[in-house]
Amino acid sequence: MALSGYLCLILHSHLPFVRHVEHADSLEERWLFQAITESYLPLLDCLGRLSREGVRASLTVSLSPPLLEMLDDDLLKKRYKRHLFIMHDLACKEIARLKGSRERPLAEMYKKRFERAYDMYTRELSEDIPSAWKRLHESGSVELMTTSATHAYLPLLIQDESVTAQVKTGIRAFERRFGFTPKGFWLPECAYSPEIEPHLRDAGVRYFILETHGILCGTPRPRYGFYAPVLTPLGLCAFGRDIDCGKQVWSADEGYPGDGAYREFHRDIAYELPIDYLGKAIPGNIRTPTGIKYYRVTDRRSDHKELYDPAAASDRAKTHAWNFVFWRNKEAEYWSSVLGKPPLMTAPYDAELFGHWWYEGPEWIEEVLRITSGPDVIVRSVTPSEYLEEHPPEDIVSPAASSWGYRGYSEVWLGHRNGWIYRHLHACQEAMAEACKTHRGAGGIVRRALNQAFRELLLAQASDWPFIMTSGTAPDYARKRVIGHIGRFQALIAQVDSGEIDETYLREIEERDKVFPFLDFESFLGEAEESRAVPSPR
C-alpha cells in the first residue's frame, strides 16, 4: 500500500485553576481529580502500552499552564490521593450492597480501577504526571505544546499588554516545567484574530491550530483547503481542523461516543442513591458525579438504559478505531488524487473527552495510533513538527478571525450572560499598565503586592468563566471567581497606591491564588513594549 495521507491527532489538556485552600473539601476540585482518574492516567497507560509493544505513536498533547500548576501542587496531590481513598471505599460499599446482583461485577471493576489509579499515580509516576508527559516527548512519541497563561480568550483582551502577558507567561511556565521551548501554541478556544499573531511571532511560536473556517475563509483562499498548513504573512504556520474528523467524534448525533454500547455518562450513582449512603463521596451533600456508573447509552434518545458491558464496549471502541481509520484512508485516497499531494487531516480534541466524557475514548485513541503507526499504512500519524519537516507550507494565507464553539465566532464567550465581564477586565488591564509605570523598580512588599495583582488579573481573564456562564454548568461559581479575582486585584492596587498594604491580607491571597511563582509585574508592560518594538519580517 502506498502512503496517501497523514493524520495529526492533537489532545488539548486544560482545566481552570481551582485550588480552594480555604475549604477542606471543594466540589470544583473534583474536576481535576476526575480528569486525572478518568482521562490523564488512562491516556498515559495506553501510550505506555504502545511503547512496550514497540509502536512509535505520533501524538500531540497541549498542556495548559493552570493544569500544570495544579498537577504540581502539593495540596492538590494530597487531596487527590484522599479522593481516591474515598472513591475506593464507596466502591467497596457498592460491592457489599450489590451482592448477588448483575451490577456487582461492575462495582468490582470500579474498585480495581481506583486501585490501579492509586498505584499508577503514586508508585509508577511518583505523583508527577507532567514528567510522564516529558518522558514521552523525549522518546519521540508525543509532541508537547502550550497555551496562554490562564487560557484567556485572546481576541477579547484588546490591550496588547494583556495578550503579550498571557502568551509569554504561558510559554515561560512551560519552559520552566519542561526545560525546552515549545514549537506549538494552542490558541485558547481556537480563537484567532489577526491582532494576536504578532504576539505569537514575537514569543517564538512556530505553529498554531485553527477551526476549519479560520483556514477556509483565509485570504487568499488556500489551494489545499484545510488539508495542508498555511504560512501566514508573519511567518507562522496555521493548521486547520478537518471537518470529518471532528464530526465523527464530537457530533452529538453522529459521533462515536453516542453508540449504545458505550457507558452512559449521566447515569451516576450520585444521582440515584441516598445522600447519607454516599457520604464523603459528595462534598457538602451536593450531588456530583462519583465516576461509578452501571449503565450504557443503549439509545441516546431514550431514558431507558441497559446494563453496561465493559467487554462489548471495549470491542466497539476498537471497531470504531478501525472505522475512523477506514474513512481517513478513503478521505486521503480521494483528496490526494484531487490535490496532487498527500493531505494532512488535523484532528484536535479536548483531552478530557477521552475517558471522562467518553469512557472508552483512551482505548479508541490507543487503537487509532496503533493502526496508523505501522510501516505499511495508507494514512500515517504525525505530529505538526514532523509534518512541517517533510512538507513545508506552500501557500501564504492570512487566516480569518474565528473560534470553535457555537457558530464559530466568539459567541459562546461574548454574549448576554457574560459580556459584562469585559469592561471590568479592560479597566483592570489599564490599571495594571499604569501601576507598572508608576512603581517600576519597586521592591519589598510593594513588589509582592503588584506581583499578586498581576496573578489575579491573569486568573480573572480565564476563558473558562465566560464559557461556564454560557453553558450553565456552574454559572454562580464562574461569576464568583471573576468577581473575586477582580476584587482582589482592585484591593491590592488600591493598597499599593495608598501606601498602606495589609500584609496579612496579601499573605492570605498569595496562599489562596498560588500560581506562577516566577511572575514579575514589570513584565506586564516591559514585555509588551518590547513586543511592539520588534519589526515584522518582510
pLDDT in tens, 107-146: 999 999 999 999 999 999 999 999 999 999 999 999 999 9
* Catalytic-labelled residue, pool 161, 189, 268, 360: 189
Following CA atoms 189, 195, 197, 198 in sequence, which dihedral angle do they give, to the nearest 10 degrees? -150
pLDDT digits (tens, 9 = 90+) for 229-243: 999 999 999 999 999
Q: Using CA atoms, how far apart are residues 175 and 516, in angstroms rounded to an integer?
A: 12
| pLDDT at residue 2, rounded to an integer | 84
Residue 402 three-state SS: strand
Confidence check: pLDDT of 60 > 90: yes
| pLDDT at residue 221, rounded to an integer | 97
| pLDDT at residue 491, rounded to an integer | 99
State whether the Cα torsion 77-460-354-278 is positive or negative. Answer: positive
Strands 237-240 and 230-231: antiparallel
pLDDT digits (tens, 9 = 90+) for 244-301: 999 999 887 889 999 999 999 999 999 999 999 999 999 889 999 999 999 999 998 9
pLDDT digits (tens, 9 = 90+) for 43-53: 999 999 999 99
pLDDT digits (tens, 9 = 90+) for 145-202: 999 999 999 999 999 999 999 999 999 999 999 999 999 999 999 999 999 999 999 9
| pLDDT at residue 525, rounded to an integer | 85
Of the candidates 162, 207, 169, which has an alpha carbon nearest to the alpha carbon of residue 187?
207
Nine cell digits for residue 473? 454548568
* Catalytic-labelled residue, pool 309, 350, 386, 510: 350
Are 310 and 323 in contact by the 8 Å Cβ rule? The answer is no
- Superfamily, domain 5-72+128-255+341-407: Glycoside hydrolase 38, N terminal domain (3.20.110.10)
189 is catalytic: yes
Are 187 and 498 in contact by the 8 Å Cβ rule? The answer is no
Are 26 and 76 in contact by the 8 Å Cβ rule? The answer is no
Domain parsing of the chain, residue ranges: 5-72+128-255+341-407, 415-533
387 Cβ partners below 8 Å, 6+ apart? 6, 8, 229, 344
Are 399 and 210 in contact by the 8 Å Cβ rule? The answer is yes
pLDDT digits (tens, 9 = 90+) for 453-485: 999 999 999 999 999 999 988 999 999 999 999
Q: Using CA atoms, how far apart are residues 333 and 412, in angstroms rounded to an integer?
A: 36
pLDDT digits (tens, 9 = 90+) for 363-373: 999 999 999 99
pLDDT digits (tens, 9 = 90+) for 482-533: 999 999 999 999 999 999 999 999 999 999 999 999 999 999 986 434 433 3
Q: Using CA atoms, how far apart are residues 214 and 398, in angstroms rounded to an integer?
A: 9
What's the topology of domain 415-533? immunoglobulin/albumin-binding domain-like (1.20.1430)
Phi and psi angles of residue 172, each rounded to the nearest 5 degrees, phi first: -65, -40
